[in-house]
Amino acid sequence: MMSLSTTISTVALPGLLLGCIFLAGACSGAGTNLVKPGLSLGIESVPNLRDLGGYATGDGATVAGRLVYRSNQLVGVTATDMQKLAALGLKNDFDLRTKAEVDLHQDEVPPGVNVVKLDVLSGMADSGAANLEVLLGNPTAANAALGGGKAQANFKTTYRNFITLPSASAAFRTLYLALGNPAQLPALFHCTTGKDRTGWAAAAFLTLLGVPRETVMADYLRSNDYILPKYKETIDKFIAGGGEPAIPPAILGVQAAYLESAFDEMTKQYGTIQNYFEKALGIDAAGQKALLDLYLAPR
């Protein structure tokens, strides 16, 4: 078991906490969303599983539904919920977690779903899987290492790494190229909690499609509604033990400043989302058009 000091280091913290999975489904299921855009599909053991379709773009188009899903890790899936997953018709599950995270908890998917491992953070010196209960189990040490805004600062750095790390660019390139191929759909992508690596993957995808920034941010922040309740008992115990109340939501939830850090770094490095896809990910104008043509329903 890792020591607390290892777990909460600037590079280890994100790797331990940022888990992402992206499942892709068959195009035959494309169409209008069954739920309001951005809401959980209501699969209890996978609470942050959401369709990325249904959102309106700035010019009035609509992102096609039932093609791409964002999620938390597929671990501890009940038999009933596995049937619900199978009903999505997924072809691919893109797992954005580190090797350590995957080794700790292998994905549980319906028969026939192809699991594609894309380690976004493999380029970091230490991105081992985080044990959140251990991290929050020592309030005194956590206060010293993560209190006073240090946790938030660490996460802002990590979100900038999503733009600058070669391993992140390689992983996101593979993901988006697959999402632009109808034969690979429907699909799902995820990390551990489906909020950070998955959060940027979803935000960049929706932004390229022309979904307004405020809508993209609202989709991102909605992870708080589905992830934080899972850890209520852990959070309450941490605070009762003297832990700084701001720490748990800073590391278990998301904040607008985190995603803004990624967009800021992307803008500094590349100027526009289109240039980011072309220069960082190697997806040229034709590849970007393929994504737009596939996901944007006629106005």
pLDDT in tens, 32-81: 444 689 999 999 999 999 999 999 999 999 999 999 999 999 999 999 99
pLDDT higher than threshold 90 for residue 19 = no
What structural domains and CATH numbers belong to the chain? 4-297 (3.90.190.10)
Indicate whether 271 pLDDT > 60: yes
DSSP state of 71: B
Tokens representing 101? 């995270």
- In this prediction, residue 43 carries a pLDDT of 97
- What is the model's pLDDT at position 124? 80
Distance CA 288, CA 291 (A): 5
Burial class (CB in 10 A: 0-12, 13-18, 19+), 79: exposed
Task: Summarize the confidence of residues 206-226 as an average pLDDT.
Answer: 98
What is residue 251's predicted lDDT score, i.e. its pLDDT? 92
Look up the pTM and report it: 0.88
- List 92's β-bridge partners, or say none: 24, 187
Residue 10 pLDDT > 60: no
Q: Identify the pLDDT of residue 136.
A: 79
Q: How far apart are CA 155 and CA 252, in angstroms?
A: 11
102 neighbors 77 (Cβ within 8 angstroms): no
Q: Is the peptide bond before 182 cis (omega within 30 degrees of 0)?
A: no
Lowest mean pLDDT among 45-49, 158-162, 164-168, 230-234: 230-234
pLDDT at residue 36, as a whole number? 85
pLDDT band at 108 (very low <50, low <70, confident <90, very high): very high
> Of the candidates 231, 223, 236, 226, which has an alpha carbon nearest to the alpha carbon of residue 196?
223
**Mean pLDDT, rounded, for 180-208:** 97
Provide the pLDDT for residue 67: 98
**pLDDT for 232-244, tens place per residue?**
998 999 999 999 9
How far apart CA 92 and CA 90 sit, in angstroms, is: 6
pLDDT at 130 over 70: no
Confidence band for 125, pLDDT divided at 50, 70 and 90: low
- Could you tell me which residues come within 8 angstroms of residue 149 by beta carbon, excluding any fewer than 6 positions away? none
User: Across the chain, what does the average pLDDT equal?
Assistant: 87
- Which of 147, 165, 22 shows the shortest CA–CA distance to 91? 22
Output 133 or 296, whichever has higher pLDDT: 296
The amino acid sitting at 84 is K
pLDDT of residue 32: 42
